[in-house]
A = this chain, B = another copy of it.
Amino acid sequence: MANPSLLILPGDGIGPEVMAQVRRVIDWFGANRDLAFDVSEDLVGGAAYDKHGTPLHDDTMARAQEVDAVLLGAVGGPKYDDLDFSVKPERGLLRLRKEMDLFSNLRPAQCFDALADFSSLKKDVVAGLDIMIVRELTSGVYFGEPRGIHKEGNERVGINTQRYTESEIARVARSAFELARKRSNKVCSMEKANVMESGILWRQVVQEIHDAEYPDVELSHMYADNGAMQLVRAPKQFDVIVTDNLFGDVLSDCAAMLTGSLGMLPSASLGLPMANGRPKALYEPVHGSAPDITGQGKANPIACILSFAMALRYSFDEGENADLLEGAVQKVLADGVRTADLMGPEGGSPVSTTEMGDAILAAL
């Protein structure tokens, strides 16, 4: 049987630096765990724009549709700030999400014991935190039509459309309920049903799917503004949170920051099963391209490495190997190995991106 295929899109900023460490990890699994991948690499975001004048070339898009999983680094940077909307680095990422139909975005917010002190929150509020935000990723105001800026009389008017169909809500709700069953069996759905009709439909459909298919899962509903409050006040009350594309964007970033270590957080974006039974999938760290530290060897590769661990788990059903990799990361942290972003006020000397890779390989 052919090896499973991976498309690597390092992207912009620190993307290539952290991805270099992921490649070493991938190679390690090939050499030591009989788990070889066919790896190809291509451009996305500003890097693709610089070469092709578009943030995602059609050939790359086609390749992403064929492979078993895509690993992405990060997109964007100040260099591209003034580009037209249609060719901004972000459009490359959004096109991948939309055309691969990656409707279920899993964003774990997990607080690593060794790092609980890094949070701006009190230790007892976040120690042991382990929540999973399931964000709808292919619809809502990100993609709704009509959209754009036009003139009405003398004035410019900016328009976007929040639009959700029943089936779009149903499928992401199912993926949240499935996940909850493997965790603490609790889902909280967030919207603004008190002011938005799309939120009313969201709440109704989530409730219907629950009642018909997942009555065993504990379901609650919360307004998204209260959700933001509760995440700050007492995040451990949550297990799985399911929400739409825009609320998910803001709330998952809020949740990520609770952990205090953004450089640690991976994400998975999953779509429908392909012919081989694997879901369409893209994995990427939650952190961005971090232009301020690009090229300095300071970036923390762990979020990107843990994204590969998610790929092992969700695309390749290699739970044991995912555990192995996650365990190696835990061990390295427990041993006190720290990139610059993980240095506390007490100081110490940080390791470089490559040295963090070295340490994780050694722990494997």
Cβ-neighbour of A165 out of B152, B165, B202 (below 8 A):
B152
| A340 cross-chain contacts in B, Cβ below 8 A | none
Inter-subunit contact A158/B198 (CB<8 Å) = yes
Please, how many residues of chain A have a CB less than 8 angstroms from a CB on the other chain?
A: 63
Give bound CA distance, A201 to B262, whole Å. 30
Closest Cβ of chain B to A94, distance in Å, is 7
Whether, in the assembled complex, A186 has its beta carbon less than 8 Å from a beta carbon of chain B, the answer is no
Closest Cβ of chain B to A117, distance in Å, is 10
> What 8 pairs between A and B have smallest CB-CB spacing?
A158-B201, A158-B198, A228-B254, A225-B253, A232-B257, A229-B257, A160-B162, A155-B166
| Number of copies of this protein chain within its complex | 2
- Identify the A interface with B (CB < 8 A): 76, 85, 88, 90, 94, 120-122, 125, 141-142, 144, 147-149, 152, 155-167, 192, 194-202, 204-205, 224-229, 231-234, 246-247, 249-254, 256-258, 262
A165-B157, A246-B192 known; A254+B233 contact, CB < 8 A:
no
Inter-subunit contact B253/A228 (CB<8 Å) = yes
| A161 cross-chain contacts in B, Cβ below 8 A | 159-162
| A205 cross-chain contacts in B, Cβ below 8 A | 156
Contacts A/B (CB < 8 Å), 15 sampled:
A85-B200, A88-B194, A120-B233, A121-B121, A147-B197, A149-B200, A156-B204, A157-B166, A159-B162, A159-B163, A161-B161, A224-B249, A224-B250, A225-B252, A250-B251
Inter-subunit contact A198/B159 (CB<8 Å) = yes
Closest B residue to A221 by beta carbon equals B81
Inter-subunit contact B225/A158 (CB<8 Å) = no
Give bound CA distance, A157 to B161, whole Å. 12
Inter-subunit contact A229/B256 (CB<8 Å) = yes
